[in-house]
A = this chain, B = another copy of it.
Amino acid sequence: MMPKRLNASEIERHLERLTGWVKDEGKLKKEYKFTNFIEAFAFMTRVAFLAEGMNHHPDWANVYNRVSISLTTHDVGGISELDVEFAERLTDVA
């Protein structure tokens, strides 16, 4: 089933409780910082399992202890409920 695309006010409401997440260039984004590379990649491994399990894959990047994650839903051309759910679940794995 196609996830529901969210409008600007719906996204704003979700962002109120999604700590550290921002809307930027039509995507939900968050920057994570860890103690070192091993901690950063350990986090990435958890995220990888989450992504594969949800069949929803982030656009993400890493340099040493930093991981930046961008979420969007190509099928709806914007931010959807699936991105919000992904961001929520990331809070549990971080």
**Considering the chains assembled together, what is the distance between the CA atoms of A37 and B60 in angstroms?**
13
Task: Let me know if B63 and A62 touch, CB within 8 A.
Answer: no
Task: Let me know if A59 and B57 touch, CB within 8 A.
Answer: no
Tell which of B38, B51, B60 touches A61, judged by Cβ atoms closer than 8 Å.
B60
Note all chain B residues with C-beta closer than 8 A to A38.
Answer: 52
Q: State the number of copies, please.
A: 2
For window 30-67 of chain A, which residues contact chain B by CB distance below 8 Å? 37-38, 41, 44-45, 48, 51-52, 57-64
Task: Let me know if B60 and A64 touch, CB within 8 A.
Answer: no
Nearest chain-B residue to A60 (Cβ)?
B62
**Considering the chains assembled together, what is the distance between the CA atoms of A58 and B41 in angstroms?**
12
**Considering the chains assembled together, what is the distance between the CA atoms of A59 and B64 in angstroms?**
8
